[in-house]
Amino acid sequence: MSGLFLLLLIPEVQAQSVGIPAISIDGGNGDGQTYSVKLEILALMTVLTVLPALLLMMTSFTRIIIVLSILRQALGTAQTPSNQIILGLALFLTLFVMSPVFDQVNLVAVQPYLSGSVTAMDALGLATEPFKTFMLAQTRETDIRMFADIAGITEIESPEKTPLTLLMPAFVTSELKTAFQIGFLIFIPFVIIDLVVASVLMSMGMMMLSPMIVSLPFKLMLFVLVDGWALIMGTLASSFLVGA
């Protein structure tokens, strides 16, 4: 996605910059100067406002951050790892998963644009194609059909012809479902440990002792012994490769 935004950071090759008059200063005796805002700057500022939404709706970030949050909840470690660490892990794993898409964007859109062989609008259209391919590989047909029915679209010629405005919400819906499915599988062993500990404490008559306090060391020990972080990261990364 970095290649997509790079298109708006670089002015057109051998093109005159178009500006919008913003401030006029009158120096008297007919002298004055008008300062304008370049359209490139306006476009850049507009894109910056939608960067978080694009990150959530066009990459693997949504699935990863939800699974990591569910994992922390299943472990019962409250704020450990902290939100900053969870976000950092999700961002770097997203960069790892999306690196082939970024490379493709750079190859088909950014480099031709920098060489002047395509215009900015053509490059923007070319840059969206790798993202559409990635999202189509991860999106369920039922979700696409649901949003197509809502939008009143009766027929789509081919998956590649799916409008981006329809594909993005369908992709996010599929990602949410997949993330919760993975989170459910993660939760099961930790719930079993909680149930066993609670049953043992109840049989011993220790009603006042919280089962969460006793089960936490066992859950941490299980997670460390099975190399849980490597399993979670590997599963998340491979889940996108399988979908592709």
From the list 50, 44, 6, the residue with the least C-alpha distance to 168 is 50
- Give the model's pLDDT for residue 218: 86
Model confidence pLDDT, tens digit, residues 35-68 = 455 666 767 677 778 777 777 778 889 899 999 9
Whether residue 168 is predicted with pLDDT greater than 80 in this model: the reply is: yes
Is the pTM here over 0.85, yes or no? no
Whether residue 91 is predicted with pLDDT greater than 80 in this model: the reply is: yes
Distance of CA 174 to the CA centre of its chain: 13
The token pair that represents 35 in the structure block: 């300062």
**Torsion of the alpha carbons at 219, 186, 100 and 171, rounded to the nearest 10:** -140
User: Distance (Å, rounded) from C-alpha 49 to C-alpha 43?
Assistant: 10
The token pair that represents 65 in the structure block: 């951050």
* DSSP H helices in the chain: 2-9, 39-58, 61-75, 83-105, 111-115, 120-138, 141-151, 164-203, 211-225, 228-243
From the list 162, 156, 96, 98, the residue with the least C-alpha distance to 130 is 98
- Give the model's pLDDT for residue 242: 56
Among 1-10, 106-115, 125-134, whose mean pLDDT is lowest? Answer: 1-10
Model confidence pLDDT, tens digit, residues 202-241 = 887 777 777 778 888 888 888 888 888 888 898 888 888 7
Is residue 24 a contact partner of residue 37, using CB atoms and an 8 Å limit? no
User: Distance (Å, rounded) from C-alpha 168 to C-alpha 162?
Assistant: 10
Name 32's bridge partners.
Answer: 26
